[in-house]
Chain A
Amino acid sequence: MSAVLHAHPESGPSLGVDGPDRARRVLSEAGMRGRWWRFALILAITALVLVPIMVTVILALTPGPNSTAIGLTLENITGVFSRTLAATWLQNSLVTTLSTVAVSVAVAAPAGYVLSRGRSKAVSGYSLLLFVMQSLPIITSVVPLFILFAGMGLVDNLLGLTIIYVGSTMTVATWMMAAYFDSIPISLEEASWIDGCSVFGSFTKVVLRNSLPGVLSTAIFAFLLAWNDYLVAIVFLRSNEIFTLPVGVQSFFQQNVTDWSAVMALAVVMMLPPIIVFATLNKYFSVGGIGGSLAGR
Chain B
Amino acid sequence: MSSTTAPSGLARARRGLAPGGSGGGPRKLNEGLNRKSKLSGQTSRTFFWLLLPSVVLLVLIHGYPLVYAGVQATHDGSLIDTGNFVGVDNFATVLSSPAFWKAAQFTLWFTIVGVFGSWAVGLGLALLLRTKIPAGSTFKVLLLLPWVVPIVVSSTAWNWLVATPDSLIPALFRNLGLGTPLFLADPNLAAVLVMVFKVWVSFPFMMMMTSAALASVDTTVYEAASMDGATKWQQFTQITLPMIARSTYISWILMTIFCVNDFPTIYLLNGGGPVDATTSLVVLAYRKVFQDFQTGPGVAIAFLMTLTLVVVSVFLYRQIRKSSVE
Interface residues of B in 104-157 (CB under 8 A from A): 125, 128-129, 131-136, 139, 141-146, 148-154, 156-157
A219 at the interface (CB under 8 A from B): no
Set A111, A129, A245, A296: member contacting B53, Cβ < 8 A: A111
Report the minimum CB–CB distance from B111 to chain A (whole Å): 13
Q: With A144-B65, A145-B65, A288-B213 in contact, do A31 and B132 touch (Cβ < 8 Å)?
A: yes
Would you give the 0/1 interface string for A233-252, flagging 1 where the beta carbon is closer than 8 Å to chain B? Answer: 00100000000011001100
Is the pair B290, A235 in contact by a Cβ cutoff of 8 Å? yes
Smallest Cβ-Cβ distance to B216: which chain A residue: A288
A77 at the interface (CB under 8 A from B): no
Q: With A114-B50, A140-B66, A287-B205 in contact, do A199 and B152 touch (Cβ < 8 Å)?
A: no
Set A186, A235, A267, A294: member contacting B14, Cβ < 8 A: A186
A29 at the interface (CB under 8 A from B): no
Report the minimum CB–CB distance from B90 to chain A (whole Å): 13
B321 at the interface (CB under 8 A from A): yes
A205 at the interface (CB under 8 A from B): no
Report the minimum CB–CB distance from B198 to chain A (whole Å): 14
Q: Which residues of A contact B281 (CB under 8 A)?
A: 137
Q: Which residues of A contact B80 (CB under 8 A)?
A: 147
Is the pair A107, B150 in contact by a Cβ cutoff of 8 Å? no
Report the minimum CB–CB distance from A280 to chain B (whole Å): 11
Set B60, B154, B320: member contacting A52, Cβ < 8 A: B154
A157 at the interface (CB under 8 A from B): no
Smallest Cβ-Cβ distance to A275: which chain B residue: B148
Q: Which residues of B contact A42 (CB under 8 A)?
A: 125, 128-129, 133, 136, 139
Is the pair A137, B18 in contact by a Cβ cutoff of 8 Å? no
Report the minimum CB–CB distance from A55 to chain B (whole Å): 5
Interface centre among B72, B80, B302 (most CB of A within 10 A): B302
Q: Which residues of B contact A235 (CB under 8 A)?
A: 290
A81 at the interface (CB under 8 A from B): no
Is the pair A267, B208 in contact by a Cβ cutoff of 8 Å? no
Q: For the complex, what is the distance from the CA of A166 to the CA of B60, rounded to whole Å?
A: 11
A212 at the interface (CB under 8 A from B): no
B85 at the interface (CB under 8 A from A): no
Set A31, A128, A199: member contacting B10, Cβ < 8 A: A199
Interface residues of B in 261-318 (CB under 8 A from A): 261, 263-264, 267-268, 281-282, 285-286, 289-290, 295, 298-299, 302-303, 305-306, 309-310, 312-314, 317
Segment touching A, from B219-227, B233-241, B250-258: B250-258
Q: For the complex, what is the distance from the CA of A41 to the CA of B140, rounded to whole Å?
A: 13
Segment touching A, from B26-34, B40-48, B91-99, B178-186: B40-48
A259 at the interface (CB under 8 A from B): no
- The SS class assigned to the B binding surface is helix
Report the minimum CB–CB distance from A213 to chain B (whole Å): 14
Is the pair B141, A118 in contact by a Cβ cutoff of 8 Å? no
Q: With A39-B133, A121-B18 in contact, do A170 and B246 touch (Cβ < 8 Å)?
A: no
Q: With A49-B200, A118-B19 in contact, do A107 and B57 touch (Cβ < 8 Å)?
A: yes
A255 at the interface (CB under 8 A from B): no
Q: Which residues of A contact B88 (CB under 8 A)?
A: none
Set B50, B261, B302: member contacting A113, Cβ < 8 A: B50
Q: For the complex, what is the distance from the CA of A249 to the CA of B148, rounded to whole Å?
A: 17
B171 at the interface (CB under 8 A from A): no
A33 at the interface (CB under 8 A from B): no
A264 at the interface (CB under 8 A from B): yes
Smallest Cβ-Cβ distance to A274: which chain B residue: B148
Is the pair B161, A55 in contact by a Cβ cutoff of 8 Å? yes
Segment touching B, from A1-9, A17-25, A63-71, A223-231: A223-231
Q: With A36-B134, A171-B58, A291-B209 in contact, do A263 and B156 touch (Cβ < 8 Å)?
A: yes
Residues of A bordering B, CB below 8 Å: 31, 34-36, 38-39, 41-43, 45-46, 49-53, 55-56, 59, 106-108, 110-111, 113-114, 117-123, 126, 128-148, 163-164, 166-168, 170-171, 174, 186, 189-190, 193-200, 202-203, 224, 227-228, 230-231, 235, 245-246, 249-250, 260, 263-264, 267, 270-271, 274-275, 278-279, 282, 286-288, 290-292, 294-297
Residues of B bordering A, CB below 8 Å: 2-4, 6-7, 9-11, 13-20, 23, 42-43, 46-47, 49-51, 53-55, 57-58, 60-66, 68-69, 72, 79-80, 125, 128-129, 131-136, 139, 141-146, 148-154, 156-158, 160-161, 168, 200, 205, 208-209, 211-213, 246-247, 250-251, 253-254, 257, 260-261, 263-264, 267-268, 281-282, 285-286, 289-290, 295, 298-299, 302-303, 305-306, 309-310, 312-314, 317, 320-321, 323-324
